[in-house]
Amino acid sequence: MIKIVGLCGSPLKGSTEYVLEQALAAAKAFAPDEIETELISVHGKKISPCVGCGYCKKNKTWCCIKDDMQEIFDKIAHADGLLVASPVYVMTATPQIHAIASRMRPAMHCYPGMLRNKFFAAIAVGGTRNGGQEVTIDDICHLFATRSMNMVSNEVGGYTGAKVWTADGGPEAAAADTIGMKTALDLGGKLAEVCLTYDLGKKALAQREPAR
């Protein structure tokens, strides 16, 4: 079974969560018997940013800050694909998404290779039509590619990720942006396709050669 986790970076249960739900449904629809999805949200969670104390690198272990990040990281660690959705906050992803990416530092420095076979894709939901969705997608791509995950791009019209415009009107307004919603659905399906294809390829490779 392929696991695709949707990470919602909005502190609210609002338009971003709605868009992510729809994109995850599109991922599931790609191969219903082979793909399972789960949505996790920063809503109601305490996630501090990395404070650069160096504890993880020095002790080759997980972060010493005790909050909800461990639970989020466990979900990411067990996922094949991560669909990262963020509202646009001041032309970038939310501080919560930045906090998560900064706290994933041990995955690079203490457990190298842990995330290298995982894929991610980016969804940005903004209140203004051209309010920074593209910049936010770039932001998400930099954050998670830096954590050695592999970016999945979108289909025609979506380019690097999915871009939805809400006019600050919540889920209903997001749903009304049919062009933007198509980019989210396309992206969910594409991420599922890439994860499934990669998994099948890995299994085929394992039959040909000694396991890598």
Applying CB under 6 A, the residues found at the interface with ligand FMN are 10, 12, 14-16, 87-91, 125-128, 131-132, 166, 168, 170
Q: How far is the CB of 174 from ligand FMN (least distance, A)?
A: 7
Q: How far is the CB of 134 from ligand FMN (least distance, A)?
A: 11
Q: 4 is written with which tokens?
A: 């695709």
Instruction: Name residues whose C-beta falls within 8 Å of residue 20's C-beta, 6 or more positions apart in sequence.
Output: 6, 8, 39, 83, 85, 123, 184
- Minimum CB distance to ligand FMN smaller for 6 or for 132: 132
| Measured distance CA(131)–CA(87) in Å, rounded | 10
Q: How far is the CB of 124 from ligand FMN (least distance, A)?
A: 8
- Minimum CB distance to ligand FMN smaller for 20 or for 35: 20
Name residue 92's beta-bridge partners.
89
Contact 85, 6 (CB under 8 A): yes
- Minimum CB distance to ligand FMN smaller for 16 or for 183: 16
Q: Which residue is nearest to ligand FMN (CB)?
A: 131
Q: How far is the CB of 90 from ligand FMN (least distance, A)?
A: 5
- Minimum CB distance to ligand FMN smaller for 22 or for 166: 166
125 exposure class (CB count in 10 Å sphere: 0-12, 13-18, 19+)? buried
Q: Taking Cα atoms as reference points, which of 204, 193, 202, 199 lies closest to residue 1?
A: 199
- Minimum CB distance to ligand FMN smaller for 10 or for 154: 10
- Minimum CB distance to ligand FMN smaller for 49 or for 127: 127
Which region holds residue 83: left if phi is over 0, alpha if psi is between -120 and 50, else beta? Answer: beta
Tokens 């690198």, residue located: 57
Q: How far is the CB of 42 from ligand FMN (least distance, A)?
A: 11
Q: How far is the CB of 13 from ligand FMN (least distance, A)?
A: 8
